[in-house]
Structure 1
Amino acid sequence: MTHASSILSAQLLEIRGADAIGFAQSQFSSNLLTLEDGQWQASAWLDPQGRVRWLLQLARIDAQHLVILLRGGDAASLAQALRLYVFRSKVQITARTALPIGSGPALAEHAVRLDPRTGGQHWGFGDYSMAVGPEVAGDPAWLQRQIQAGWPWLPEAAQGVHVGPALSLHRLGGLAIDKGCYPGQEIVARLHYRGGLKRHLALLEAQQAAAPAESLQLDETPAGQLLNPFAVTRGESVLAVLNDQIEPTGFLVRQRWAP
């Protein structure tokens, strides 16, 4: 289960301008050229070592308007960091006021709808959607469904720690191998073609209480890190980046995902 107090807010950022698509394509790990108007994709902003600084849902509203929902982290900080790379690009990067997230009606997977009246949004996941907006009654039901499906949320202590494949971003469509350069692309390609990564995303069941982003161990051997944005209690499900073939003390492994 997930406690009713475990309610997240949406940190939102907009990129507008004639060069919005080109700028985002050069910075984020997904391939925006595959997006059509009214669609969103998983993505990330990586550091030069391929570690995920910000985990994102990135929507194309039209050719000059992108909306980004951060899966962890602060929108104002991301906006400030991105502005350092604008140079001569014709873009405006704006952090928006955080809004409640709740469970919304069914909407085609990767479809996005905006309400021009309220600024609200629906991000489609098939038989449900993430509803975001000032009139939304926040609830945790959508988060539990995403935990079970392997959609991670990156707590602050896990930002800049894990490479994209460890967060299963290939599986989620958030890592492009065959597009032009972006920060961390060389590391992503090397891991894809040469392998060698020994930590991947896993679904765990807690057998004890655990703090957000807690380090995992097997006896005294490091085993990984939880990706929970809230404290969890016994019996709750949580995602983690976990060493392959290790079951950490105090948790049961329910599922493991490839990159």
Structure 2
Amino acid sequence: MILSILRKKMFILLYTAVLVLTSCSTKRDIVYFQNAKDFETIVDTETFKAKLKVGDIVSVYVSTMDPTVTKPYNLMIETGSSGQLIDYLIDVDGNIDYPILGKVKLVGLTTEEAKELFKKKFSEGQLLKDPVVIIRVLNFRITVAGEVRSPGVYPVSGERVSILEALGMAGDLTIKGRRDNILVVRDFNGTKTYTRVDLTNKEVFNSPVYYLTQNDYVYVEPNNSSISNASGDSRVGTIISITSFILTTTLIFVTRN
């Protein structure tokens, strides 16, 4: 009877030890915005606007009351029965080569600033009267990698996207993803910046990388539990073996005495 009770207690002890060793994640590790209070209001004073970079591909469309005068500026590529507006690549010097105007420096400007620049050039050269200029970035995309459900490259249709939206595109973090140390790698004309973001803290909304820019790279690193599981199956097996050996030895010692 005493032997049976000892065995049960040792089994419970072994089970508890293994459970503690293999369970590392806690609520504090995975919940977002933990310090946000109920009914708390955060006023968004962010005025972020993405700026054009070297390597961006843009479309520029110009229109006036007389479409014939804007035709030389809206060059088209013939595609069967219709045409497609040509694109412009911002070169290493930050320029595009635009019809009639020649080199136009766009790097570092927002799309709104670029529109005003074109209007100014058309006005100064008395080329067009009251033109409407539409500029779009065609290769705005971000990359999300690491511990997310669907890592990949995602195109952005608008002019800005938040890090939360980007992670949503990638299916959100897996349970193995570390929430408090997400890395955003940003490149601006050859200069790279590395910024860490903590999603468990509401201050993420004030981060300089809360809004992403073209070709930003977002990396979610694995948490300690994931790293342990990746290399820990054999380690856990070893721990179980050692624990079993100790318990068995103890049991033998007890029964003999």
Report the structure, 1 or 2, having the larger strand content: 1
Higher gyration radius (CA): 2
Give the TM-score taking structure 1 as reference length. 0.19
Q: Please give the TM-score of this superposition, normalised by the length of structure 2.
A: 0.19
